[in-house]
Homo-oligomer: A and B are copies of this chain.
Amino acid sequence: MSESEIRDIFQSLALQPPGRRALAAGECLFRAGARVKDVYAITAGRLKLVRTSLAGSEVTLHRAGEGETFAEPSLFSERYHCDAVAEIATEVLVYSKADIIKAISDDPDRMMRLLRHLAVQVQAMRARAEILSLHAATDRVMCYLNLHLPSGADAMTLDLPWKQVAAEIGLTHEALYRALARLERDGAIRRNGHTVGLLKR
């Protein structure tokens, strides 16, 4: 499903015109524990869902960019479970949760699309859990690359910096760079900047 198709789930609803909100880089859209009143569609920029442990360490659980909806799984929650933070300057459309629920109730087609969207997210999180369950750094990297490689292709260009990839697969960036170096030395991958090719499958 394309991103614009997703956004469409919200945008084309006959609602009160949604509010808008602009966030500076690093600004917080909502905090864990706050009541869920709204859900969002991102028109520009990039948001992330993070959970901050008591000790202060941050885990990014989800990232979404322009054209994507945000916080849909919270539609049925009383309170947000994570903090939402803008990675860069970001603009969102603000939809009232109650309006959205009412609107999709009336439109099976849109509801079905939201259903499919959530199903995909469940599978995406399962894929990530699989990666995170592996113990060796090289295994995590290979698993990540295999899961993100377009089927049939044997090479791809990542759209995020390796440092972010490291965080996503639960490694320090040093460990990731070393794993990449080892894999390349062993002839498992070939790499040039953000472009990687898998050699032996």
User: Which A residues have a C-beta under 8 Å from some C-beta of B?
Assistant: 49, 51, 53, 55, 57, 59, 61-62, 72-77, 81-82, 101, 105-106, 108, 111-112, 114-116, 118-123, 125-130, 132-135, 139, 143, 170
Contact = CB atoms under 8 A, between A and B. Distances in A.
Given A53-B143, A81-B126, A125-B125, A73 B132 contact: no
A10 to B, nearest CB: 14
Contacts of A123: 73, 77, 81
How many subunits of this chain does the assembly comprise? 2
A118 B119 CA distance: 7
Contacts of A128: 125, 129
A57 B126 contact: no
Contact of A61 (B55, B82, B129): B129
A13 to B, nearest CB: 15
A191 to B, nearest CB: 21
Contact of A125 (B59, B82, B101, B129): B129
A73 B118 CA distance: 8
B132 A72 contact: no
Contacts of A74: 119
B132 A122 contact: no
A72 to B, nearest CB: 7
Contacts of A129: 59, 61, 125, 128-129, 132
Count chain B CB atoms within 10 A of each CB in A106, A126, A128 and give the residue with the most.
A126
A139 B72 CA distance: 29
Given A59-B129, A73-B122, A132-B133, 12 more contacts: A49-B126, A55-B139, A73-B123, A76-B119, A81-B123, A81-B127, A101-B112, A105-B112, A114-B115, A122-B122, A125-B129, A129-B132
